[in-house]
Structure 1
């Protein structure tokens, strides 16, 4: 039986050391966390980088440095960059990052890129032409409907069929719940599903996603700091190891 790929998102764009002492911000910490999480069962890393002040960044130079170091230290771990705006960047800057970097894999928010209807087709064409694997971020059913419309219009290519659905929200805070999947299911036909979730039911949401065929389960401090019993995880690797354990038990 093929298990879903576990992807770790160890930091995100918004949280800092005040939220959790083990949340990695600089490159050395990100690499150290990646090594631990890969050993615990994560096959992929969702990469956010920070600037010198610890703020979210889409700097291509910083990304190149991080990708190079991760390729050297954890060569068997897939790495996905984010183009997340985080309230800082516009579509032109997101496109510029992707164009300058041309990574193997990137996540792109459907609603963020749709803010510039003229640029969106160029971004999806760039990814298709350069062989960049895209994972569309969908925060709700409206985003999935936008994905369907864009695919029908030929803006998003047929092979660009990978989506990660987000259960719950960061701001205003809302914990994800496994039952939210049912409302999204009708819009997922023909798509390769990934899943992440906010709050202490993160693991329950991910296991429910595995049950409906999700190919990628994203876990980590970007979305959630709490174990299923409500206590803080000691680190990202603990969250990865626990998810891996429960997936293996479920498959046994």
Structure 2
């Protein structure tokens, strides 16, 4: 679903695990994230998917670190980017801690992996209450789905009313468990599962992210099926021709050019906010 023929282009600039040894321009500090956000906004992004680190460079869900990064980004770009924080566990945080972070921070948007939140470590009713609260609070949730089984789990949770309808979207992660290089074929079983129940999936936007050099190729294919796109160093650092990108903004600009060539416009942050209002 593309609002007014436009796609949501998000940047995922760092992720939970990569370091400066992977790329010297991987943004980690609040100031670096703000500079990255401004450059990617100019390249066509309307959202930044935000990870923060602790003093030792490790993945963190620290509320103060998120607030510091958010202030820096807002100072650099105002409201021209939606800031989506991650709640990713990375084998460290429990569902209770993930939900506590969201309750304490009250971000504009957050991503949550269905298989993490519904791992059985927290009672389903507790998770359902949290999702109802977040929906009422106006927080835009993005549910991360790693394979067709995750898609079916999401649809089942929707069918039972555990996940409220509206004000959310999903992210289909291509090739997370297939060797680190995504292919368009990775999308097909997930897309078929997604479209199998149009009564639940219709009207819910979906996006993809992909690993490795074929990231842009996968993204271009997804938009032709009605999807949106997340691009960035979290998943890939290579341009389609194999060269290492100078920075996240070069990856964003590369895909933005492909999207325009295909006839798609790029949505703004306000377009996204209106869709999820």
TM-score by length of 2: 0.87
In the alignment, the residues of structure 1 paired with residue 178 and residue 257 of structure 2 have an alpha-carbon distance, to the nearest angstrom, of: 31
Q: What are the superposed Cα offsets for residues 16-41 of structure 1, whole Å, 9 maximum, x if unpaired?
A: 00111110111111111111111111
**Larger mean Cα displacement after TM superposition, 1-10 or 75-84:** 1-10
Consecutive aligned runs of 4 or more in structure 1 exceeding 3 Å deviation: none
In the alignment, the residues of structure 2 paired with residue 135 and residue 202 of structure 1 have an alpha-carbon distance, to the nearest angstrom, of: 20
**Larger mean Cα displacement after TM superposition, 65-74 or 205-214:** 65-74
Give 5+ residue unaligned stretches, structure 1: none
Q: What are the superposed Cα offsets for residues 136-185 of structure 1, whole Å, 9 maximum, x if unpaired?
A: 0001111111101111111101115410000012x774211112222112
CA contact (8 A) 2:35 2:76 kept: no
**Larger mean Cα displacement after TM superposition, 118-127 or 135-144:** 118-127
Query: Which residue pairs with 1:23 in the alignment?
Result: 26
CA contact (8 A) 1:26 1:54 kept: no
CA RMSD of aligned residues (A): 1.5
Count of aligned pairs between the two proteins:
250
For residues 34-113 of structure 1, the aligned pairs below 5 Å read 34-75=37-78, 76-113=80-117
1:180 pairs with 2:186: yes
SS of 1:241's equivalent? helix
Query: Which residue pairs with 1:197 in the alignment?
Result: 210
In the alignment, the residues of structure 2 paired with residue 186 and residue 160 of structure 1 have an alpha-carbon distance, to the nearest angstrom, of: 23
Q: What are the superposed Cα offsets for residues 81-106 of structure 1, whole Å, 9 maximum, x if unpaired?
A: 11001111111110110010111111
In the alignment, the residues of structure 1 paired with residue 252 and residue 29 of structure 2 have an alpha-carbon distance, to the nearest angstrom, of: 21
In the alignment, the residues of structure 1 paired with residue 22 and residue 256 of structure 2 have an alpha-carbon distance, to the nearest angstrom, of: 24
SS of 2:6's equivalent? coil
Query: Which residue pairs with 1:242 in the alignment?
Result: 254
Q: What are the superposed Cα offsets for residues 44-88 of structure 1, whole Å, 9 maximum, x if unpaired?
A: 100111111111110111111211221221111111011001111
C-alpha displacement of 1:121:
1.2
In the alignment, the residues of structure 2 paired with residue 173 and residue 68 of structure 1 have an alpha-carbon distance, to the nearest angstrom, of: 37
Given candidates 133, 142, 146, the residue that maps to 2:140 is: 133
In the alignment, the residues of structure 1 paired with residue 181 and residue 32 of structure 2 have an alpha-carbon distance, to the nearest angstrom, of: 27
SS of 1:39's equivalent? helix
In the alignment, the residues of structure 1 paired with residue 152 and residue 221 of structure 2 have an alpha-carbon distance, to the nearest angstrom, of: 22
Work out which structure has the larger RCO, using CA pairs closer than 8 Å and 6 or more positions apart in sequence. 2
CA contact (8 A) 1:3 1:247 kept: no
SS of 1:233's equivalent? coil
In the alignment, the residues of structure 1 paired with residue 34 and residue 248 of structure 2 have an alpha-carbon distance, to the nearest angstrom, of: 12
SS of 2:49's equivalent? strand
Give 5+ residue unaligned stretches, structure 2: 196-200, 265-277
CA contact (8 A) 1:13 1:55 kept: yes
SS of 1:194's equivalent? strand
SS of 2:142's equivalent? strand
